[in-house]
Amino acid sequence: MTPVEALQKALAAEHAAVHIYGLLAARSSQSEQPALFAALDRAYAEHRSARDRLTVLVTAKDTDPVAAQPDYDVPGPVTTAGEIESAARTLESRITRTYGELVANTAGSDRRWAISALDASALREVGFGVAPSDFPGLS
Amino acid sequence: MVDSSNPGATSAVDGTAAGSVLSRRTVLAAGTVVIGGLVSGCSADDTRSEERTNPRRKPALAPDVAVATAALAEITAVRAAVTGTLNRFPAARSALAEVVAMHRTHEATLADAVPDRAEPSGSAAPAPYVVARGRDKALRSLAIREQQLHGTLDGLALRAQSGDFARLLAAMGAAVHQRLAAWPT
């Protein structure tokens, strides 16, 4: 995988994350599940920021950034708070692996950013209830 | 509707099936492949040639072997700090046992890449870790030490020449970061 391909894959993942977190937040109740809503809201903001950064990184390589799709499948049902949290866990675990690939396929400042993004997604995983791993983003 | 689990052109996230998690053995095997490549990067012929030209000088380590050596030394030092804290405050065992286990796993993954008696370049032997007297202060000090390890591993991931090895080191750093998020108080 070339660095640009890895950046595009991460960007595509962030497009999906922004879409799905928006949906998950909409399915949660700010009044009844304030902690979950706040975590989803924070994750949404962080993924928007990551998406925008990746767009800049791809554009800087004279490449058109991959566009968002009109819709995405949500990983699992999202009726209850537990299901919403489970979907967030699945999403973050996939994102963490994607950033692991980005670390492997970039160098210099792009890799530096990928490492920090991997850290951030590994932390969000734990925030949504994933048990700490010995190798987040690798497994 | 686009399948978000498909990483292809119409997909967005990593295509591995949801909940699909490689076993720890598989992870370690993957690490071994990476590490095996590092070891082979420092050939015996190179070492012998260096020894012939300057027998008293230590042979230079291949770049990623040097990175692995530095990572292993730092992880070992931090594990010793955690163990020392546990010896002083055994009641913290339930909270820190997983941290020790994580460090041991990381050490085992790196050990094969580090030649015997190799030392990190440009660094003196680390000062022994002194455990603070009070439990709370000891745990805070240890968290700072773990935070330093996290930064070191991220920095080494940036230095690594092999992309796969960089990923391994970044994963180790992220693992430390995860433990810090649930640090006992």
* CATH assignment at residue A29: 1.20.1260.10
Q: Which residues of chain A have pLDDT under 70?
A: none
Residue B30 lies in a domain: yes
Residue A71 lies in a domain: yes
pLDDT surpassing 90 at residue B147: yes
Least confident stretch, A118-122, B44-48, B56-60: B44-48
pLDDT surpassing 60 at residue B55: no
Q: What is the pLDDT of residue B127?
A: 73
Q: What is the pLDDT of residue B24?
A: 46
| Residue in A closest to B8 by C-alpha | A9
Residue B159 lies in a domain: yes
Q: How many other CB atoms are there within 10 angstroms of residue B163's CB atom? A: 20
Alpha helices in chain B (DSSP H): 24-40, 44-53, 63-88, 93-111, 135-159, 163-181
Total domain count, chain A: 1
Residue A104 lies in a domain: yes
pTM of the model: 0.82
Confidence tier at B11 by pLDDT (50, 70, 90): very low
Confidence tier at B33 by pLDDT (50, 70, 90): low
Helix (H, G, I), strand (E, B) or coil at A72: strand
pLDDT surpassing 70 at residue B82: yes
A4 and B CB contact within 8 Å:
no
Instruction: Write out chain A residues lying below 8 Å of B158, CB-based.
Output: 111-112, 115
pLDDT surpassing 70 at residue B10: no
Q: Is the alpha carbon torsion for B60, B148, A43, B168 positive or negative?
A: positive
Total domain count, chain B: 1
B177 and A CB contact within 8 Å:
yes
Which of A13, A100, A116 has the CB atom closest to B12's CB atom?
A13
Instruction: Write out chain A residues lying below 8 Å of B5, CB-based.
Output: 73, 75, 94
Confidence tier at B121 by pLDDT (50, 70, 90): low
| Residue in A closest to B154 by C-alpha | A115
Domain extent at residue A59 = 3-127
Contact assignment for B18 to A126 by CB distance below 8 Å: no
Q: What is the pLDDT of residue B48?
A: 45
Q: Is the alpha carbon torsion for B147, B152, B153, B155 positive or negative?
A: positive
| Residue in A closest to B164 by C-alpha | A104
Which of A12, A76, A136 has the CB atom closest to B175's CB atom?
A136
Q: Angle at the Cα of B82 (from A126 to B102), degrees rounded to 5?
A: 45
Q: What is the pLDDT of residue B12?
A: 38
What the block records as the tokens of A31 is: 């009044």
A98 and B CB contact within 8 Å:
yes
Q: Is the alpha carbon torsion for A71, A93, A88, B16 positive or negative?
A: positive
Residue B92 DSSP code: G
* Alpha carbon distance B160, B34 (integer Å): 12
Contact assignment for A133 to B178 by CB distance below 8 Å: yes
